[in-house]
Structure 1
Amino acid sequence: MHFSRSSAGDVLRLALPAVFEQVLVMLVFTLDTVMVGRYGGSQALAAIGVSAEMVATVSNIFVGMGISIATTSLVARSFGAGRLKRAEEYATLGILAAAASASMIAVLVFLFAGSAVRAAGAEAAVSLIASGYLRIVAVAIFFSMVLSSVNAVLRGYGNTKVPFVASAITTMTNLILDYGLIFGNLGMPELGVQGAAIATVIAQALGLTFSTTYMLRRSKVKPGLSHIQTLDIQRLKSFFRLSVPASMQEGSISLVRLLGQFMIIGLGTKALAANTMATMIESISFMPGWGFALAASALVGLKVGEGDHEGARAYAYTSVIMGSAVMGVISLLFLVFPQQLISMFVTGGEEDVVMLGALCLAIGAFEQPTMGASMISAGVLRGMGDTKTPFKVSFLTSWFIRMPLTIILIFFLKTPVWMVWVITAVYWLADSILLLKSMDSKLKALGHI
């Protein structure tokens, strides 16, 4: 693995907007959680934690990691090979698949929100808050999932700036409406947690409107219903050959994470609140990994489409090195300022929750570089059209390392919640080693295929 200075500029050009986009996505949710925590305390934080995990699980499995990944990879390789019509066919297919999945998921979340939260074992007060929040957020799920697929099309031909602008619009709208609707400021009604949900719906709708308008008017790849009429069975097979393993990979990771969240509920509301705060902060930290992974997928995909295998290797290795280094720097903040970061979420009187959350965050510092390496190497493989390897690795590490350790230590032994973070550090280390080896092997084989 070597660093290419000549490739670094292109990696940064695509990665930085993608990084900032992902940071904004998580920043708005984190600040949303901060405001909710300051409004309603530990119970409100716990409710948001349960709700967020459920929403993230279903949306990422079907669109965020399945349909969007397939769309970016196929559009990138088709565009890189100079086949614009094929790229537009894949773009159309991806957006329609996302819209259909989003509609189904939004309806299911709305209908079964209360049952799902109660089944998770949350306390009665937490369950009541979470179910009301989820029923409103169900509408936002549709907008956010379709937005994810539209942005995937844009990234496919190397446009990461428009998705960043869409995230900026979403973030600013969400924060302004949060401030007004949660606390009753700016002449708006005081709606508490439900106000946060309404703000999310409006913000996601505006973001989708912006990206869709740009795509239809100025994008180099313009989807349209006319492309469906000429779509052959091979395109469908290619799309599902990539999207299904990618969805299964996210399903493997998310289901283990969600089951772990349910086990944490059994440790009590304070443990759940502490874990939620630490997770929210960490969610921002690993966004650079996602940003570099998105850039790597697009750049490697374009180079593979062009037949430039040496260029693909240079972009891949440079992306992994740069992204992991950035996350290594961020991990230092978790080690030096964990208590200060956690304190942003709650007011006085809950020092024990703050200290527990700070310990979780400090332990989480050790998983940042390996998490980055895992994300980006998986992104490289997807850019090459390989979604099966990331799925196989994540299935192995999630179900044979992370899940057994969580069941034994958290469910049966009832160890403190910070032990969850020790487990995930071990999990990310194993995941990164296996994915890096797979990526290196696939890249070396490119010129010999």
Structure 2
Amino acid sequence: MTRHWGLILRLALPSIISFATITLTGTINLILVGHMGALVIAAVGVSNIIMYNAWALCSGFGLTVNYLVAQNYGAGDMKKGVARTYLALYMCLGLGVLLHLIGWLAPASILRLMGGSPELVETGTDYLEIRFYAMAFATLSFIFHGFFRGVGDTKTPMILSIASNILMVFFTYGLTYGHWGFPELGLPGAAWGIWIGEAVGLLGSAYVFFVRLHKRFATRIRAVIDRAESRLILAESGKLGVQEFAMSLAMFVFTMFVTRLGDEALAANEVALNVMSLGFMPAFAFSATATILVGREVGRGNPLLAKRYQTDTAVLGSLFLLVLGAVEFVFAAQIAGIYTADPAVSELAEKLIRISAFLQLFDGLFNFFAGGMRGLGETSFLVKASFLLSWLVFVPLAYLLTFVWGLDSVGAWISLYTFLTAYGVTVLIRFYRTDWSQVTVKEAG
């Protein structure tokens, strides 16, 4: 088993750093604005859930490019991989326009729909509007990063992520509080900091794709709109987007439930989610690694080796999450104190952090094997499992535990634990029940 760990770590560690940079930036930004009060923390928390849903709508394009390019790279057919990337970029440009329109027209309405108080709506409207504009850049960057990872280059996304996130923190601090000669914009300044970072990240990604990689992969082409390939990209992106959206929309409802428990409960929930997101970095990193290795070996016609890589990736990723969860469980009180000085918020956040500490193992289990399923091109099962478990298990159970049985925030988190456990085990079982003799490269119908 361990003979593959070196390759897995070489691919996964840059991705861990990349995702850790994104997570750390979110944490630093929350800490920077958190001193403005619980209402600001709550507004940022609600906005983060909304933006997760917006990202989910477009994420399928980046995930699809990632696994298709990995398969094409393994098969030695990068001309098709580049053409597919172009098609995904064209389609995502249209979604970017939609995100701008939503940000311009509907941020206050969305916050009211979330059940936010009038004070929260007033505080968060401008912030959410600018976050929608920034998300349009992020979704395009995600497609480029999917291409880079598909060809086994996880260092370039790492470098781009570090650069763009450093800029986010710099401009968030400067524009929020008016330091270093910048105007003092308050909470909207934090959103403009994110916008600047995402814009620079997109420019850097485009430069690498169109300039640096042109000699190796002939990336500057006049892509022909092939109908069969367009249907494939749209169908696969739609399935993976719906998979993510089903989960993110369920989290949207989860947050609406918590919102109705009051601003303090919502602030504590946001702190716990932000801490839990530390576990997302190795989960996403090893998931992306599984997609790369499984997709590459499928392209090379070695499905059983793909299975072996998947198992090794899941074992190694689980060890990372186990250590991280133990640290969070032991130091929950100290971690909560970093985010807020409000005793009520800190006490509840400490309890939620302890509940969620080992939840990351099951979230990781889902991510590891979902990455492998994408590498196989088995996307239909993922969307079905996501939809059914999100809406037949997670949401009803969250309502029952939170309101009917009166467990409040603790009940909401128990439901999240139950959902992710069921999801992780379901995807694991499905992966190992694959008919490996039938595994082939995904082609347009």
- Tell me the TM-score normalised to structure 1 length: 0.94
CA distance in 2, matches of 1:103, 1:342: 38
Q: Summarize the alignment of residues 16-415 of structure 1 with structure 2, pairs less than 5 Å apart.
A: 16-38=13-35, 40-60=36-56, 62-64=57-59, 66-219=60-213, 220-224=216-220, 226-227=222-223, 229=224, 231-347=225-341, 350-415=342-407
1:420 to 395, 412, 418: 412
Contact kept, 8 Å, 1:249 with 1:390, in 2: the verdict is: yes
- Give the Cα–Cα distance (whole angstroms) in 1 for the partners of residues 439 and 227 of structure 2: 29
Q: Is the 8 A contact 1:91 1:221 kept in 2?
A: no
CA contact (8 A) 1:153 1:221 kept: no
The amino acid that maps onto 1:22 is F
Matched, 1:8 2:2: no
Identity %: 27
Change (3 A) 1:448 1:113: closer
Q: Distance in 2 between matches of 1:193 and 1:386?
A: 42
Alignment partners' CA distance in 2, 1:241 and 1:184: 46
- Give the letter aligned to residue 69 of structure 1: L
| AA in 2 matched with 1:29 | G
Q: Distance in 1 between matches of 2:106 and 2:202?
A: 25
- Distance, in Å, in 2 between the alignment partners of 1:156 and 1:435 is 22
Cα deviation, residue 98, structure 1? 1.8
| Residue pair 2:54, 2:135 contacting (<8 A) in 1 also | no
Deviation at 1:413, TM superposition (A): 4.3
For 2:363, the aligned partner's letter is M
| SS state at 1:435 partner | helix
Residues 239 and 35 (structure 1 numbering): CA distance in 2 closer, same or farther, change over 3 Å?
same
Is the counterpart of residue 429 in structure 1 residue 424 in structure 2? no
Size of the aligned set, in residue pairs, is 439
Displacement after TM superposition at 1:412 (Å): 3.9
In structure 1, what is the Cα distance between the partners aligned to 2:270 and 2:246? 21
- TM normalised by structure 2 equals 0.95
| Deviation of 1:223 (Å) | 4.0
Cα distance in 2 between the residues matched to 1:286 and 1:148: 16
1:333-366 CA deviation, whole Å, 9 max, x = no partner?
A: 121011111111123xx11110101100100012
Contact 2:290-2:368 at 8 Å conserved across structures: yes
Query: CA separation of 1:343/1:225 partners in 2, compared to 1, >3 Å: closer, same or farther?
Result: same
Partner AA of 1:19 in structure 2:
I
Give the 3-state SS of the residue equivalent to 2:106 in structure 1: helix
Report the AA paired with residue 226 of structure 2: D
Q: Structure 1 residue 262: deviation in Å?
A: 0.8
Does structure 2 conserve the Cα–Cα contact (< 8 Å) formed by 1:300 and 1:380?
A: yes
C-alpha contact 1:91 1:222 (8 A) present in aligned 2: no
SS at match of 1:417: helix
Q: 1:21 to 1:274 in 2, by over 3 A?
A: same
Counterpart CA distance in 2 for 1:259 and 1:74 is 32
The Cα of 1:197 is off from its aligned counterpart by 0.6
Runs of at least 5 residues in structure 1 that lack an aligned partner in the other structure? none
